[in-house]
């Protein structure tokens, strides 16, 4: 009996040692799709993607796309849909998160509202997005369809903001600044039904590189 008890005790000690040496399992999180703004590219998210990797995400879970921002945002929404499907397929995830900057907010909203994307997106983040348009877009609308979509009162924005601007079970978050020279007026970013966060006095492009903005985004999609 004493030998049996000693063997059992030794087994418990060994099990505890193995458990203490085993790596802690990573906290579950959704893969993230990053969608840039007008006249930009996937590389603008390099800093943020790097920070998510440092926070425990794998490269396979992070995807940034590049698109032609002079085309219709509804066309770009189709590319967002393809990217979401690809990201889900390569990770096996049921849903993904989306982090969009500037005009990327419009195409991703079109995907969510007009292409059934709410079924596949858990959290959606708009960084300095012209969700109700920006007067700055009048400077480029003559030669850019993407810019025409950003003009206040455009057909696309009217459709996205009609009825429920934050449909489905997707959780919506916007981050805005009072010193953004591209988004005019400042409160264009805010959406009814979203968690609207004042990020500070931040320039338009700095949303992509500032550590404090990353911290807010990471906390929202956690």
Question: What confidence tens digit (pLDDT) does each residue in 27-51 have?
Answer: 589 999 999 999 999 999 999 999 9
Q: Is 98 exposed, middle or buried (0-12, 13-18, 19+ CB in 10 A)?
A: buried
Average pLDDT over every residue of 73-81: 98
Distance, CA of 174 to CA of 99 (rounded, Å): 10
What domains sit in the chain, N to C, each tagged with a CATH number? 29-221 (3.40.50.1820)
Q: Mean per-residue pLDDT for 162-171? A: 98
Coil, strand or helix: which one is 222? coil
Band of pLDDT at residue 3, cut at 50, 70 and 90: very low
pLDDT, mean over the chain:
90
Beta-carbon count within 10 A of 167 CB: 16
pTM, rounded to two decimals: 0.88
């Amino acid at each position: 009996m004493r030998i049996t008890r000693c063997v059992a005790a030794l087994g418990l000690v060994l099990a505890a040692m193995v458990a203490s040496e085993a790596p802690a399992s990573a906290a579950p999180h959704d893969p993230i799709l990053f969608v840039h703004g007008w006249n930009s590219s996937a590389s603008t998210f390099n800093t943020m993607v790097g920070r998510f990797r440092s926070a425990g995400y794998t490269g396979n879970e992070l995807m940034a796309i590049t698109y032609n921002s002079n085309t219709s945002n509804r066309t770009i929404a189709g590319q967002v849909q393809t990217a979401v499907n690809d990201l889900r397929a390569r990770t096996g995830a049921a849903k993904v998160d989306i982090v969009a900057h500037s005009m990327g907010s419009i195409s991703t909203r079109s995907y969510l509202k007009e292409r059934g994307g709410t079924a596949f997106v858990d959290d959606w983040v708009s960084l300095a997005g012209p969700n109700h348009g920006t007067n700055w877009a009048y400077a480029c609308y003559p030669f850019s369809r993407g810019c025409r979509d950003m003009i206040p009162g455009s057909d696309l924005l009217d459709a996205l903001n009609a009825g429920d601007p934050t449909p489905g079970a997707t959780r919506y978050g916007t981050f805005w600044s009072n010193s953004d020279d591209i988004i005019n007026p400042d409160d264009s970013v805010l959406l009814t039904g979203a968690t609207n966060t004042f990020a500070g006095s931040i320039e338009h492009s700095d949303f992509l590189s500032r550590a404090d903005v990353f911290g807010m985004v990471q906390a929202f999609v956690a």
